[in-house]
Amino acid sequence: MEHAVIQDMRQMTGRGRAIEDESFSIIDREAGPHRFQPDQWEVVRRVIHSTADFEFLRLLAFHPDAIRDGVSALRRGCPILIDVKMIAAGLNEERLAAYGCRIYQYISDAEVMAAAKRENSTRAIEAMRKAHREKQLDGAIVAIGNAPTALLEVVRLVNEEAARPALIIGVPVGFVSAPESKQAVASQPIVPWIVSRGRKGGSPIAVAIMHALLRLSVEKASSAQPA
């Protein structure tokens, strides 16, 4: 399993790898001393690499168990539940499939759209409800990059209906309910989380976090193998 993921990660050309390595070196120099643990820094620097925005040094926050539980979930082949198709477009499905992970999203599902209209709800809310009915929330990594209402619904499902994702990545961008939805995730004590506080976020941030977790999963597997 790890061999297939490692081989996929090595598809970048030598020149491409050199450019990426130089980019990360620049980020490390310009960031300077920071408050993050090494595994957390792998996530933060990849988000900065994706956005060229050093404000994420201040905005990104982690539950103490977030990296450990996220990596463990990937290695178990967990479902990946997302709010919008843009996240799926950025993820490497072959790399995830090597672990047995499958991506789920229901924002354009006919049943979801009908329920949102009938209940005067949102498609994002109804998509999370359908995922819960389909037993795809428990043990999953939930990655929300666009819809604060999806994130708030996940928190409700955790608190009121005993949904148990392995990790919630809460990074929706926006002005209405985005900061509040992230605070709600960080305030619940049940499920580990990674959030970007405030208004900033978006699907590229969710993708960058997922890619960092995948890389960490490979690094941990490699370090565990006998020399």
**Residues noted as catalytic:** 49
Phi and psi at residue 13, to the nearest 5°? -70, 165
DSSP character at residue 201: -
Rounded to the nearest 5 degrees, what angle is found at the Cα of 88, between the Cα atoms of 100 and 123? 115
Count of other CB atoms within 10 angstroms of residue 73? 23
Q: Per residue in 88-114, is it b (16+ CB within 10 Å) or e — as a string?
A: bebbbeebbebbebebbbbbebeebee
Q: How far apart are CA 72 and CA 198, in angstroms?
A: 28
Q: Per residue in 189-205, is it b (16+ CB within 10 Å) or e — as a string?
A: eebbbbbbbeebbbbbb
Rounded to the nearest 5 degrees, what angle is found at the Cα of 98, between the Cα atoms of 96 and 104? 35
